[in-house]
């Protein structure tokens, strides 16, 4: 059974039809690359899955159960974690504070509950170590490099055990070495049965870790193929419209 | 920044590359700075240093400065501003501003006076005072958080409205009769325990509470997160609107509490109570390290900022300089404090 099923999703902003009947399914442990040119509807589709706004029509099903997201928190509660392109971090807080933002660990002293710094630093350090990232839990995010910030954003998705991790251009602004690390992480997510949707402009990344690639063009899905049955050239053609559909 | 960057770690000359385990170990155990270094970097620390320097100079300039009496008066005078600055700092931390606190003092003071004058006693008087403050804060907060109005405009409007309401309900008359609990009330605002004025005790306790809140409570963490990046906070599931409302309610209640104590000290209240105080409170908060761009707050900053302002006033007075210069120096310190903070930040981020 599919983990996530999108069925005939459309989204209109007034006269603009950003998505026109897109269907997509993702199985557990599967990584799907979502590609398309600017304005193809990738971000709109992402935002619908993330619960930023509801679709105009169409259904979202998670493990066969129909869901409706009104707020990002609804999506998170259904087991969808998102790594945003602008990373959505608070620069004035530490790495650990960002990882645990909104889900702080607490200790109790009688009726008083207070932040458990020690546990949060420890858990954050473990998460960064898993990512092989040189990120220190106590550092302020404002002093970090692009790669370290990425690690913070990815580490926070690992806090809960999500069913699906949605990544918006996770390798756009980081060093070559960090790209390899992020791709390794995606591989590890897959190995542990998590599904991944990877939105990326970087063809090599998609061909490296994804099992399938879906191509959007002008609001419709023009291809949905297994990676081993396509080539970067074909995908490029599909994105630009040189190849109508496949 | 620490001297050793991660770059140096990997390619330390002469030692060969580090193993992964070694890197991991180094990464997870290292901290950016020690506790002391972190304190030295904060604005309240430098303002405290300025206070000590001015204090040292003044102890030579004036015989009166170090007397118990002067200390007693000075601390009590800034206690009211310090209490309000604690609340204001929370508002400023969310990148907001609360201009209504001065007028609110007038309103809360008059309400307290009216309730107690009618013979209801000090507890109903206090509850009415805090209730009306909370209500004003709630209106501010709802307009700002849910209707997305600019904090400056909302609280400027409230500044005018609260003052006007206090004039109407006081019928423009002074209140100096506080009913059966008059003595207790005057003791609360005007007397001291163990040689420390009661308002100063309130400031000390509240500062300790706020210190804890900013460091250890989820609410405090969320307020700071909202000031840093409200969008990220919202995406993390933090109830941003509710937190912002709570911050304005808090600021208003701190103003209400200050008004309650101030009226007890004065022994009378007019509807002009707290006129112009909002600017002093904002100045105290900013001198104490609050950043108007949001995301920065220090519990100790509020009393330290308020203390510096009162110290300037007191020093000028004792040094025989015309009191008319007072606002000039307060303004000067405000600008210098913000300038220094900016210079230090620039050095850090580049």
Residue-wise pLDDT tens digits, A212-238: 998 888 888 888 888 888 888 888 888
Q: What b/e sequence results for B319-349 when a residue is b if at least 16 CB atoms lie within 10 Å of its CB, and e otherwise?
A: eeeeeeebeeebeebbeebeeebeeeeeeee
The domain that contains A238 carries what CATH number? 3.40.50.300
**How many residue contacts between A and B have a Cβ separation below 8 Å?**
91
According to the model, what pLDDT value does residue B21 have? 52
For residue B66, the surrounding DSSP H or E stretch is none
> What's the half-sphere exposure (Cβ side, CA atoms, 13 Å) at B66?
11
ipTM above 0.85, yes or no: no
3 state DSSP class of B83: helix
CA gap B144, B155 in Å, rounded: 9
Given A159, A184, A212, the domain boundary residue is A159
**Cα A115 from Cα A120, distance rounded (Å):** 9
- pLDDT at residue B7 is higher than 50: no
**Alpha-carbon separation of residue B31 from A137, B216, B260 (angstroms):** 8, 19, 44
β-pair partners for B187: none
Beta pairing partners, A109: A112
Q: Are residues A7 and A48 in the same domain?
A: yes
CB neighbours of residue A140 within 10 Å = 18
CB contact under 8 A, B28 and A143: no
The percentage of residues in chain B with a pLDDT greater than 70, rounded to a whole number, is: 88
Q: Which residues of A touch B347 (CB under 8 A)?
A: none
Domain count, chain A: 2
Is residue B110 predicted with pLDDT exceeding 90? yes
Long-range Cβ pairs for the range B37-45 (8 Å, 24+): B41/B344, B42/B289, B42/B298, B42/B301, B43/B287, B43/B288, B43/B289, B43/B298, B43/B301, B43/B337, B43/B340, B43/B341, B44/B288, B44/B289, B44/B298, B44/B300, B44/B301, B44/B304, B44/B305
CB contact under 8 A, B28 and A129: yes
Sign of CA dihedral A66, A72, A77, A80: positive
Residues A44 and A5 in one domain: yes
Nearest to A114 among B216, B222, B236 (CB): B216
Q: Does A105 touch chain B (CB under 8 A)?
A: no
* Distance of alpha carbon B313 from alpha carbon B241, whole angstroms: 39
Percent of chain A with pLDDT over 70: 98
**A105 part of a folded domain:** yes
Q: Which residues of B touch A69 (CB under 8 A)?
A: none
Across residues A121-133, what is the average pLDDT? Answer: 81
Higher pLDDT, B18 or A174: A174
- Looking at residue B92, its pLDDT comes to 93
- A28 and chain B: CB distance < 8 Å anywhere? no
Q: Which pLDDT does position B35 carry in this prediction?
A: 67
Q: At CA B319, angle to CA B313 and CA B324, rounded to 5?
A: 50
Pick the CATH number of B44-341 from 2.40.50, 1.10.3470, 2.60.40, 1.20.58: 1.10.3470
> How confident is the model over A58-85, as a mean pLDDT?
84
Tell me the per-residue pLDDT of B313-322, one tens digit each, with 9 for 90 and over: 888 888 888 8
Residues A6 and A74 in one domain: yes
| pLDDT score of B350 | 43
A107 DSSP 8-state letter:
E
**pLDDT at B10 (0 to 100):** 42
Of residues B243 and B184, which shows the higher confidence score? Answer: B243
> What contacts B305, CB < 8 A, 6 or more positions away?
B44, B47, B82, B85, B283, B284, B285, B286, B287, B288, B289
| Mean pLDDT taken over chain B | 83
Q: What is the pLDDT of residue A138?
A: 84
Secondary structure tally for chain A: helices H, strands E: 8, 12
Are A102 and A172 found together in one domain?
no
**CA-nearest residue of chain B to A101?**
B236
B 259-288 near A (Cβ less than 8 A)? none
Domain ranges within chain B, ordered by starting residue: 44-341
Distance from CA of B294 to the nearest CA of A (A): 9
- Cβ of B6 and A113 within 8 Å? no
Boundary (domain end) residue, out of A108, A136, A159: A159
For chain B, say whether A27 makes contact (Cβ under 8 Å): no
- Chain A contact for B307 (CB, 8 A cutoff): no
**Percent of chain B residues topping a pLDDT of 90:** 37
Q: Point out which residues pair with A9 in neighbouring strands.
A: A22
**A177 and A155 within one domain:** no
CB proximity A114 to B under 8 Å: yes
Do both A244 and A167 map to the same domain? yes
* Confidence band, pLDDT 50/70/90 cuts, at residue B34: low
A127/A61 same-domain check: no
Q: Helices B101-117 & B277-287, crossing angle to 10 degrees?
A: 120
Flag whether pLDDT at B16 surpasses 60: no
Domain final residue, candidates A143, A159, A175: A159
pLDDT for residue B210? 94
**Over 70: is that where the pLDDT of B23 sits?**
no
| Claim to verify: residue A175 and residue A73 sit in the same structural domain | yes
Percent of chain A with pLDDT over 90: 1
Spatial CA neighbour of B74 closest among B58, B61, B88:
B58
A244 has a pLDDT exceeding 80: no
A128 falls within a domain: yes
CA B312 to chain centre: 18
Rank A90-99, B73-82, B158-167, B173-182 by mean pLDDT and report only the highest: B158-167
Of the listed ranges A78-82, B158-162, B190-194, B346-350, the one predicted with least confidence = B346-350
Look up the domain containing A219 and give its range: 1-79+163-246
Calculate how close chain B gets to A113, using CA atoms only, in Å.
7
Where does the pLDDT of residue A20 fall: very low under 50, low under 70, confident under 90, or very high at 90 and above?
confident
The three-state (H, E, C) secondary structure of B280-341, written as one string? HHHHHHHHCCCCCCCCCCCCCHHHHHHHHHHHHHHHHHHCCCCHHHHHHHHHHHHHHHHHHH
Domain for residue A86, yes or no? no
B194-218 b/e (C-beta count within 10 Å ≥ 16 → b) = eebbbbbebbeebbeebeebbebbb
Residues A242 and A188 placed together within one structural domain of the fold = yes
Q: How far apart are CA A242 and CA B204, in angstroms?
A: 72
Please enumerate in sequence order all residues whose Cβ is within 8 A of that of A207, keeping only pairs 6 or more positions apart, or say none.
A33, A213, A227, A232
pLDDT of residue B101: 93
């Amino acid at each position: 059974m599919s983990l996530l099923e999108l069925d005939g999703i459309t989204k209109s902003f007034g006269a603009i039809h950003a998505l026109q009947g897109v269907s997509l399914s993702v199985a557990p442990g599967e990584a799907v690359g979502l590609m398309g040119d600017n304005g193809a509807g990738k971000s709109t589709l992402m935002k619908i899955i993330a619960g930023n706004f509801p679709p105009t029509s169409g259904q979202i099903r998670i493990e066969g159960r129909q869901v409706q997201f009104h707020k990002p928190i609804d999506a998170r509660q259904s087991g969808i974690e998102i790594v945003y392109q602008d990373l959505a971090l608070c620069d004035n807080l530490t790495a650990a504070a960002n990882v645990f933002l909104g889900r702080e660990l607490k200790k109790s002293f009688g009726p008083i509950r207070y932040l458990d710094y020690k546990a949060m630093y420890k858990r954050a350090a473990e998460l960064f170590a898993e990512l092989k990232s040189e990120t220190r839990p106590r550092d302020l995010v404002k002093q970090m490099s692009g790669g370290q910030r990425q690690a913070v954003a990815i580490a926070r998705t690992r806090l809960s055990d999500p069913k699906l991790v949605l990544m918006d251009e996770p390798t756009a602004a980081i060093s070559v070495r960090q790209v390899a690390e992020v791709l390794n992480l995606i591989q590890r997510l897959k190995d542990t049965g998590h599904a991944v949707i990877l939105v990326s402009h970087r063809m090599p990344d998609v061909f490296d870790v994804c099992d399938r690639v879906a191509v959007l063009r002008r609001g419709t899905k023009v291809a949905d193929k297994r990676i081993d049955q396509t080539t970067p050239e074909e995908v490029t053609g599909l994105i630009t419209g040189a190849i109508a559909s496949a | 920044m620490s001297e050793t960057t991660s770059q140096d770690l990997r390619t330390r000359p002469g030692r060969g590359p580090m193993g992964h385990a070694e890197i991991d170990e180094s990464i997870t155990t290292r901290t950016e700075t020690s506790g002391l270094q972190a304190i030295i970097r904060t604005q309240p620390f430098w303002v405290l240093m300025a206070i000590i320097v001015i204090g040292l100079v003044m102890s030579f300039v004036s015989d009166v400065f170090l007397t118990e009496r002067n200390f007693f008066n000075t601390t009590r005078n800034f206690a009211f501003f310090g209490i309000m600055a604690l609340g204001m700092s929370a508002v400023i931390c969310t990148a907001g501003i609360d201009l209504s606190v001065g007028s609110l003092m007038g309103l809360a003071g008059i309400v307290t006076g009216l309730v107690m004058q009618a013979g209801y006693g000090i507890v109903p008087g206090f509850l009415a005072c805090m209730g009306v403050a909370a209500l004003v804060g709630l209106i501010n907060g709802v307009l700002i958080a849910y209707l997305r109005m600019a904090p400056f405009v909302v609280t400027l409007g409230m500044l005018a409205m609260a003052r006007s309401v206090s004039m109407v309900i006081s019928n423009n008359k002074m209140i100096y009769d506080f009913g059966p609990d008059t003595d207790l009330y005057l003791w609360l605002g005007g007397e001291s325990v163990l040689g420390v004025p009661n308002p100063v005790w309130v400031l000390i306790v509240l500062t300790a509470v706020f210190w804890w809140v900013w460091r250890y409570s989820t609410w405090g963490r969320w307020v700071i997160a909202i000031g840093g990046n409200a969008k990220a906070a919202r995406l993390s599931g933090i109830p941003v609107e509710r937190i912002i409302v709570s911050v304005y309610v808090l600021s208003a209640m701190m103003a209400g509490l200050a008004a309650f104590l101030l009226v007890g000290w004065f022994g009378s209240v007019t509807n002009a109570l707290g006129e112009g105080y909002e600017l002093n409170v904002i100045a105290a908060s900013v001198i104490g390290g609050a950043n108007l761009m949001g995301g920065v707050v220090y519990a100790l900053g509020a009393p330290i900022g308020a203390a510096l302002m009162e110290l300037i006033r007191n020093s000028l007075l004792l040094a025989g300089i015309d009191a008319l210069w007072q606002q000039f120096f307060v303004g000067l310190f405000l600008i210098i404090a913000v300038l220094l903070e900016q210079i230090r930040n620039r050095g850090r981020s580049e």
